[in-house]
Amino acid sequence: MKLAPVLVLVACLTSASPALAHAHLNAESPPADGVLAASPPTLSLSFSEGLEIALSGVILKAQDGRVIPTGAAVLEPDDHKKMTVPLNGALSAGKYTVEWHALSRDSHATHGSYEFTVLP
């Protein structure tokens, strides 16, 4: 096997990687596995790519699986990689799961979840 065709293939694959970018979760508040002394007013999720907010959001669940209503997800005005979700009221003590889904501006979808706990 000649080395030149292999090098061309490697060059093509590495140059195509930016087109395959996805919006990966970089940071969240409350933090994953965080233990909070009080209910947070919002959920904030920061991603590696800009988001299409109309097709991105979260579902907040209590430890019994009940869905907790939230406000609509919005992008920070100066940062299209950061989604903020207002909470409609204070969370009671317990463990919560944030199930998130994100559509990047280059139309790649990602999803995941994390948990945090609010102390009594």
Q: Show me where the domains of the chain are located.
A: 22-118
The H helix count followed by the E strand count for the chain is 1, 9
22-118 CATH: 2.60.40.1220
At residue 2, the pLDDT reads 56
Q: Check if the beta carbon of residue 102 is closer than 8 Å to that of residue 47.
A: yes
Interval 18-48: pLDDT, tens: 445 689 999 999 999 999 999 999 999 999 9
Sign of CA dihedral 97, 103, 108, 109: positive
Q: What six digits make up the tokens of 109?
A: 């979808």
Query: pTM (2 decimals)?
Result: 0.81
Interval 51-72: pLDDT, tens: 999 999 999 999 999 999 999 9
